[in-house]
Structure 1
């Protein structure tokens, strides 16, 4: 199950994350990207990251849960501030739209 910061319903299956992940990485990975800390549980990880995009300091976490077989069963992305969510949404939407053409 994939939980996007901009889509209000969870997205089931592998197809959606496989489409979103390359776009997300292309948008947020730059020289300023840094992991701030990582929290772990038996079947969970929560890496916290920070990046600057177009002059906006973006903070985010990926909340990842996996089953006993080691397969990811839930992936939830949270971002702040609202300006960052809006900016990333716009950039990813443009990238995904261009990929469909």
Structure 2
């Protein structure tokens, strides 16, 4: 398994934000399903991914499919958040050192995206 992807899975299992911080490249970019502009830089990407981890904590979040092509991984996930079924993908690109350089999230259906936007906004406001 790709070293960056293995580290991502370790983070997802442990929730260790120190591990996540090490995994993100200084010039990483995060693409949110609801924020129009890409979020650029280590601090912003860490903030968004940490908030997402908090939103999905204590849900049935599970990766159900994984496609890997060189430095890129597409991870399909499902979860149930406030009774709403969420289906989405994390599209992650790693650099040669196994650091995340690009992270894009897509979510469906619209009701799930709206719920996640509401929860992410509340979580980010408290950070």
TM-score calculated relative to the size of structure 2 = 0.72
> Which residue is equivalent to 1:33?
61
Query: 2:101 & 2:52 partners in 1: Cα distance?
Result: 19
- The structural deviation recorded for 1:70 is 2.1
RMSD after superposition: 1.2
Matched residues, number = 99
**Aligned residue runs from structure 1 range 84-95, under 5 A:** 84-95=112-123
Give unpaired runs (5+ residues) of structure 2: 1-28
> Which residue is equivalent to 2:26?
none
Give unpaired runs (5+ residues) of structure 1: none
Q: Which has the higher helix share?
A: 2
> Which residue is equivalent to 2:107?
79
TM-score calculated relative to the size of structure 1 = 0.89
> Which residue is equivalent to 1:66?
94
Query: 2:68 & 2:97 partners in 1: Cα distance?
Result: 17
Change (3 A) 1:38 1:90: same
